[in-house]
Amino acid sequence: MWDSVKEIQFLCERLDFRHICFLKKFLFLHRLLHRLDNGVLKQCFILYSQSVEFVSMCHDFDVVIDICTEQDIHHKIFEHFSCVVKVTSF
């Protein structure tokens, strides 16, 4: 039912809600890791980075949070969305 909407979103270079949420989560974690000097938050990140949720998310989107730039993260999320959407020829 939503396939046609996803195709339109993809063709307009927009993400669906699910991928937007993953993008925001990755960007938050990336900024947390690279821009904050708060030791407590860094420890929280270290603990979260060992969780099944985080490891699975990084694996699914092929993101290495401490190596990727924000631009790389955007690209990988959009690339994943393009794999999900089966764009047909008009």
Q: How far apart are CA 68 and CA 53, in angstroms?
A: 19
Residue 49, C-beta contacts closer than 8 angstroms, at least 6 positions apart: 55, 65
Predicted confidence (pLDDT) at residue 87 exceeds the cutoff of 80:
no
48: its two tokens: 């979260």
Tell me the domain boundaries of the chain.
15-84
Q: Write out pLDDT tens, residues 29-69.
A: 998 888 878 888 888 888 999 999 999 999 999 999 989 99
pLDDT, residue 2, reads 54
Let me know the angle formed at the C-alpha of 73 by 69 and 76, rounded to the nearest 5 degrees: 135
